[in-house]
Amino acid sequence: MADLTVTVDGRELAAEWTGENSEVRDALADALPVAGDATRWGDELYFSVPIDAAAESTRTEVPEGAVAYWPAGDVLCLFWGPTPASVGDEPRAAEDVAVVATVEDVTLLDDLDGGATVRVEER
């Protein structure tokens, strides 16, 4: 059962919390719902969120569907494919991010063109 709904320009995506970065996850959960006009960078969307949390585990290579917090910019990112930093087809952040959730099915984002309005809320 999904924990979160990630809505991208009207497309509803189900997501589940990961077991990583509990401090970031808790801070994000306390701030929900969060929303914003997201900037697109390859197959990544990111927008500012009102949290400031220390990440326990960060990385640049993330799984497809990763919902991650970028501590240096206080932004939430959604990855569904390659970015300009990728080597091959894997999603890759420009800098280390803390993965907190994973979207179950990102195929609804295949035809997304440009930036988008994103909303993350409890399911």
pLDDT digits (tens, 9 = 90+) for 83-111: 999 999 999 999 999 999 999 999 999 99
pTM score, whole prediction: 0.96
Phi-psi region of 21 (alpha: psi -120 to 50; beta: other; left: phi over 0): left
Q: Which domain holds residue 117?
A: 4-122
Amino acid at 117: T
CATH of the domain at 59: 2.40.100.20
Residue 1 has pLDDT above 90, yes or no: no
- Burial (Cβ within 10 Å: 0-12, 13-18, ≥19) of residue 23: middle
* Number of domains composing the chain: 1
Q: How many helices (H) and strands (E) does the chain have?
A: 1, 9
Per-residue pLDDT tens for 25-67?
999 999 999 999 999 999 999 999 999 999 999 999 999 999 9
